[in-house]
A and B are shown apart, each in its own frame.
Chain A
Amino acid sequence: MLFLFFYQLTFSQQQDESITKYGFQNELVVSNELSCFIDTGNSLNFQQIQLKQFDIAYPLFLKKIKSLPNKNSYWLKFSIQNNTDSSLQPFFDCGDFDFISLYLVSPHHPLQQAEGGNLAHQDKSALELERMSLTLPLMLAPRQEGDVYIKIIQKTPEYYLNGIGIYKQNFLDNSISNAYYQNRYSIVWDILFQGFLLCQILYVLFQWIIIRRKEYVYYFLYLIAIVFYFLSRREAVWGIPILFSRYPAWTIYLNKTLQILPYFLYYRFVRYFLEIRKNYPALYKWIIRLEYFLLAYLVFDFLFITSTYNTFLETKIFICILVLVFIITAAFIIYLFRQKQPLIYFVMMGSLFVGLGNILGVLFSFLVFREDFQLGITNMLVFSQIGIVLEILCFTSGLSYKSKLIEEEKLSTQQNLVKQLKANEMLNAKMQNIRNKIAFDLHDEIGSTLSSISILSEMALQKKKDAESAGIFKEIKENSIIVMERMDDIVWSINPNNDSMENLFLRIKSFAAKLFEAREISYKIEIDQNINYVDVLMEFRQHIYLIMKEAINNLVKYSGCTEAGIFVSYHSSLLTIIIKDNGKGYDVNSASNGNGLNSMRKRAEEMNAEIDMQSKINEGTIIKLSVKN
């Protein structure tokens, strides 16, 4: 970035207007000096140009190019002659311009034309040699002589002209392979560097696929932006046409974009990496503003350069923006450093390396170009590249470290949860114990007293034999016994020892058997063996027990039957209980409001179970309860 700045300062030395031959001796004859012409307004066609006088002085010519680049076209002219009896193919180095057109006008020969220049689109048919050396070839037939016209159109303010060079092909080959050979270290280093970046890109991509965190996306894009930046700067040296060699204009258009884009992506990355939105909301606002500012500048810069091509101005603006960004970044980093979060150190170290690399790069460019300092390397970007490599190592470590922190957090959260769960369980068990104890103590007290009530009323019943008092005492006794029964049932059902269906049906069996035998009802009780392995909620157990008790009580009290059956089976998560008798039945429609039947239906509803009560007068009753488990 700053190199061109300093490059430009050295241009003031270019004055040589001569035409130099490389590799050619007497076989090629050229005029001594260049003739110049300026076509103001770029209005004349080639025919008209040929008629004009090329009489502008060379220094003036150069000055004009500098001051008014792109409104005019600039012409150079010299004569050339092939002194041999075989064809020659000289290659012309016409300086470092944006658009160059080469014409060869010869009597008795067709017009030859070649196009080139920094911004000119690379023809696919262009020779490798042409591209690598940035020269334009012409064919001279044996003994052909003519005039060479060079048309120059310049858009950007940067150019270089130090006379015209005419190269013989083998000379060009040699110098190119020499240059390549001399540059081989830096080319290999470039390749290693780009390779390293591409590896990182793949690695980050796969990390993102697995760990879906936003910072990976922006790190990925950051690396890609850097790859493209260095591609744009170094592709010409490698000699392989990849992107920027084919479309050289894009090097100019995207020069500053590719430098600012990484900053933008870097800020986004840091934002997500340090979770600034969550942790430092004040800082977050400022970073967002900076990001949008950079984005706006990117758009502005692109529009600016594509419309004006004024790279000098562009660079000046760029430097101001860069200084501003540096200062703000330093402020951010100091703020974050005070927060003493471990992840910040990774970011800081990375930024430090890159900053240092850039500064060293600029410093040494200055020394090499201005002060003629001998460094032994041609690629001043090395410092930035090393800085970036170190930064990448810091970031990658940082990302891994963050993953570790997250893991540890998860683990400790899990452990806390487990502790909590255990504590809860213990608490629940304690509560349950307390509840049970309360229930039992209560039951004990109440039960004993109720028992004595029933005993006393029995005794009173014995003593007072008159019908009225007898009736009352009988009722007292029966009521107290009913209450004791009910309490007994409740306490039985909440007792955790009675958790199983096995116990439930055992209790029903004894209860039913006792009642049936007292009334001399012959009975069958069949309970499926696999009931024992069924797990049923406590509330359901209560409901089932009370429904069955009600049904059996009704059967014994009202049916007047001689045979009764209780059948319990369990199949595909459905518990089926059937209680049937051969008694006198009841009218299903009229008896539906009886309290007992209603409470059975209600209980069944609470279990989401179906209860089916069928009865025909004198044909018996079947009660079927189906419970989904």
Chain B
Amino acid sequence: MIKIAIVEDNNTLRNSLANLFNYTEGMKCVASLPDLGNVVSEFRKAQPDVVLMDIGLPNISGIEGVTTVKENLENIEILMFTVFEDDENIFAAIKAGASGYLLKKTPPEEIIEAIISLYNGGAPMSASIARKVISSFQNIQPTQKENFQLTTRENELLHALVDGLSYKKLAEKYFISVSTVRTHIRHIYKKLHVNSKAQAVAKVLKK
């Protein structure tokens, strides 16, 4: 049973999503919040596996929400749910710890698919996000530990993603399975998250 939490300020949508998840086999909606007030306590109570988080929330933005949730409940997977394919915000969310994003225009069945895939270890990434990831890693200071640099294979994958290859094509190209591709991407996300955390810390320390 996949436990899903929703953070979305549009009431209609939030309710429809809750209904959808509850109606689907193997899923259950355990929390449905209109904003990020009390998010930590609610999530501690509900213990969701996957969170569908809107970026444009009132008062505290979704990106901050990601940081807050990840700080307090580390093993939750967060999927940004947004109307705009706004690279800046999405990328910021990913750096904060989100595992991917979904556009609201996604057909419902694909939403379900994405959640299941995320639960099973996958991580979606689009070409434009891949580009931003590459440049983000290029800006990293050499003082940081080796562990958090990209490996050659990961770099290759990112570049291929920028070229528009799907995961399937990537798998074909590099003679690996699609799930291996997904694992690589997850690692990339983790490193991105850590790097951004480290950068944030470094910024604070500099002050």
Give me the interface of A with B, judged by CB distance under 8 Å: 440, 443-445, 447-452, 454-456, 458-459, 462, 477, 481, 484-485, 488, 491-492, 495, 497, 503, 506-507, 509-510, 512-514, 517, 525
Contact = CB atoms under 8 A, between A and B. Distances in A.
A449 B13 contact: yes
A340 B53 CA distance: 75
B127 A485 contact: no
Nearest to B108: A458
Nearest to A520: B168
Nearest to B20: A455
B10 interface: yes
Nearest to B55: A444
Contacts of B131: 506
Contacts of A481: 105, 107
B49 to A, nearest CB: 20
Nearest to A488: B105
Contacts of B64: none
Interface stretch (B68-76, B83-91, B147-155): B83-91
Interface stretch (B26-34, B134-142, B158-166): B158-166
B17 interface: yes
Interface in B162-195: 162-166, 168-169
A452 B107 contact: no
A506 B56 contact: no
A112 to B, nearest CB: 115
Given A443-B84, A506-B131, A448 B13 contact: yes
A445 B128 contact: no
Contacts, number: 96
Nearest to B9: A448
B105 A485 contact: yes
Contacts of B164: 506, 509-510, 512-513, 525
Contact of B85 (A462, A492, A512): A492
B47 interface: no
Given A447-B83, A477-B107, A452 B168 contact: no
Given A509-B164, A510-B127, A510-B164, A448 B83 contact: yes
A408 B166 CA distance: 65
28 contacts: A447-B83, A447-B105, A448-B8, A448-B12, A449-B12, A449-B13, A450-B105, A451-B105, A452-B15, A452-B17, A455-B13, A455-B17, A459-B16, A459-B20, A459-B23, A488-B83, A488-B85, A491-B84, A492-B84, A495-B86, A497-B86, A506-B162, A509-B163, A510-B126, A510-B128, A513-B166, A513-B169, A525-B164
B109 interface: yes
A449 B8 CA distance: 12
Contact of B128 (A484, A495, A503): A503
Contact of A452 (B10, B56, B103): B10
